[in-house]
Amino acid sequence: MRLTFARHRNVLLGNHLREVNVAGVSVARALHETKSNRVLMEGNMHAAVVRTARASVVSLPVVTADSHVASVKLRLAAGMATTALLLLLPLPSAQAQTLGLGGSVTPYAGYLVTGQWYDGPVGTSLTTANTPMIGAQLSIPLVAGLSLTGNVGYASGDVRVGVPFLGGLNVGTNKLWVYDAGLELGGLPRGGTGLAPFVQGGVGGMTNNLSSSVFSTQSTNLMYSAGVGVDVGLSRNIALRVQAKDYIGRFDSQEAIGLGSGGNLSHNWALSAGVKLAF
């Protein structure tokens, strides 16, 4: 019985050893196959790198003295073409340069021909006598040929009562201010020369300061303005401006004497000349 157990044990041990040997051989074979695959992959990668490097070397351009000279000539030709294009481009015109910031101021002097405020009975009338006038006008260009204008003028003359057969009687003095803002179409632009007519239209006010030895009062009324004229260029920034401008308004007797009375819509013509200074 002991002999049979020992034999059985030896058989089991032998089978176990054979199984271990077979497993070892399988592991060794797997390791060998893994190593072979790795060597094959490295070889393939090496071959691919070599082929890529060879292709890169083959595709690299060959720089020669002739190709360098050709490149320099090409760059020189491109630079000359760019310079010629810049020289051919049109420069901004003088009229385009007048737009934008800037404007003009025109101090002027002239003569104010006044209209009658009231027409009384039997040919009587009330007005301010014709008188010299001074003033200044500011002009700011908006677009080509159109400007925003502002004006102020001053005159001082006698208050005159018209009497038939006797002419006029001076009964006081009137210190008169006119001021208006509007638009001007035409005129000489900044930097321009030659002749340039223009027309103006605007709205503003007229203030009459009346005084005499026995009274003193003031009246301000709404006034419209319309004018025509011409600019004569003397230089790029200086021009002579000649103008005729009508100040149209109605004397406000309610403010002056506290008594409302429908007076005339009078036309007061300012004939003036001034120097237009561009800035």
- C-alpha 135/C-alpha 109 separation (Å) is 6
- C-alpha 56/C-alpha 51 separation (Å) is 9
Class of domain 101-278: mainly beta
Domain boundaries, the chain: 2-86, 101-278
Where are the strands (E) in the chain, listed by range?
A: 104-113, 116-119, 125-128, 131-143, 146-163, 167-186, 195-211, 216-233, 238-250, 265-278
Do the strands 146-163 and 167-186 form a parallel or antiparallel pair, or are they unpaired? antiparallel
- Helix then strand then coil, in percent of the chain rounded to 5, is 35, 45, 20
Segment 123-156, tens digit of pLDDT: 777 888 899 999 999 999 999 999 999 999 999 9
Segment 192-242, tens digit of pLDDT: 889 999 999 999 999 999 998 888 888 899 999 999 999 999 999 999 999
> Do the beta carbons of residue 132 and residue 176 sit within 8 Å?
no
Does pTM top 0.75 for this prediction? no
